[in-house]
Amino acid sequence: MPHSADAPSRNRRLRPRTPSPQSPDGLKDSARPAENQAPPAFEAWGSGRSPGYGKGRGGGKSRKPGRLAPYRRLFEPHGATAFTLGNLIARLPMGMFSVSAVIMIAGSRGSYALAGAVTATGLAATALVAPWTARLVDRYGQARIAVPATATAALGSLALLLCIRLGAPDWTLFAAYAATATTPNTGGMSRARWAHLHKGDPAALHTANSFEQAADELCFMLGPVLAAFLCSALFPEAGTLTGAILMTTGVLIFAAQRSTEPPVVPRRAGARSPLRTQGMVPLLAVFLATGAVFGALEVTTLAHLDGPVAGLLLALQAAGSCAAGLLYGSVRPARSLPGRLTGCLGAMTALMTLPLLAAGTGSVYVLAVALLVAGAATAPTMVTGMTLVQRLTPQDSLNEGMTLAVTAILGGIAAGSATGGAAVEHLGPAHGYLVPVSAAAAALLVASAVRARLS
């Protein structure tokens, strides 16, 4: 039986409207402090009840909600699990396509330079096209735009595969891979659905953004491994072919969950791009510098170890970020969002010094531990940044705002990779870790300088 548009709200836990023995002060929930006035500590939430809930008249201790309580609450709305499953299937290939293309092109044409140029062209095309695709999603709805955009991207991947198989000229590889730039930002669309389902609930949105960041880390950790396995165990084109199938299947499942799709918000007369919203440009600069941290860290680690073990260490860094993201989603931050962002960036800057120090020891095991710990600040930083994007961006351009953030991160990754590579070549592999430290410090300085504008 189809569900009405207000089905998610009926499934949410309703709070009592009258004072109870567990709320002796008699305050309504609306009269209690907001999220940015929370007590100076981190507290688990998820029950939707006041801190005194569960205490008996005799003052007995209440049973604290578990770490998974916020996530159980997150998935309460009907259809939340289904759209998340489809989104995860669609998102996994995002970590597969670049690796698959490099293996496929280098294996058939014998040139890693050509392979790198083709993938770089695809990245540049994505940076240009993705915001426009997201704007169409905001204007016409997720299902109406995501499905044809995904079909176009899948055809681009299949065209690249056929060009390799048939020995087509090199220029056709660039054209085919550029067509994949229409791939919709499935992570942004998923975050928009959470914002719709849990509108006006900062606690649930914090948990949702933490879950989405952990999902990003998981997909980018497993995607390259799966791609390399398929290309080596089956045939060179297997990674690209599998990625196209997974992406198409996942988006179709995701788009079919119409009950959770946010309604199209009529575009306001004279509506402007999210870029013109106060605080958005400096926030994108923070994302750009943060992306440089990721790109430089990856290139430096690959150059420092120069072998398959580098992939395992990068997976450890992603695993540390994934675990930190899930844990971060189960606690309630006490500070305001701008203060929280500067705190996370300060922690990232401090933790990024660990790989620099570990590289000087010459021990792979010490470096592995350092990367694992350094990854712990990544997810909280990204979660807080994305939450700020959602707060600054008008509702009628939410997908565009989040896609601009992703585009800034991708641009930072490209810049960080180039800078990290140059540092490794001129200063040595160990000193290449100076670049992510410097990039994190730059992000911290920008966020601190514009903190008032982000409020």
- What is the H or E stretch that residue 129 is in? helix 112-140
* Cβ pair 87, 250 in contact under 8 A: yes
For the stretch 125-155, pLDDT in tens is 888 888 888 888 888 888 889 999 999 999 9
At residue 353, does pLDDT exceed 80? yes
At residue 230, does pLDDT exceed 80? yes
For the stretch 375-431, pLDDT in tens is 888 888 888 888 888 788 877 777 777 788 888 888 888 788 778 878 877 888 788
Of 280, 261, 92, nearest to 189 by C-alpha is 261
* Cβ pair 375, 317 in contact under 8 A: yes
Structure confidence at residue 269 (pLDDT): 57
* Cβ pair 371, 317 in contact under 8 A: yes
Number of neighbours of residue 368 by Cβ within 10 angstroms = 18
At residue 60, does pLDDT exceed 50? no
Structure confidence at residue 280 (pLDDT): 83
* Cβ pair 453, 278 in contact under 8 A: yes
At residue 249, does pLDDT exceed 90? yes
Dihedral angle sign, alpha carbons of residues 84, 382, 416, 218? negative
Dihedral angle sign, alpha carbons of residues 206, 138, 118, 284? negative
- Joined together, the tokens standing for residue 130 give 């993705």
Structure confidence at residue 150 (pLDDT): 92
Name, in order, each residue with C-beta under 8 angstroms of 365's C-beta and a sequence gap of 6 or more. Answer: none
Phi/psi-derived region of residue 257, left when phi > 0, alpha when psi is between -120 and 50, beta in every other case: beta
Lookup result for tokens 């084109």:
237
Name, in order, each residue with C-beta under 8 angstroms of 60's C-beta and a sequence gap of 6 or more. Answer: none
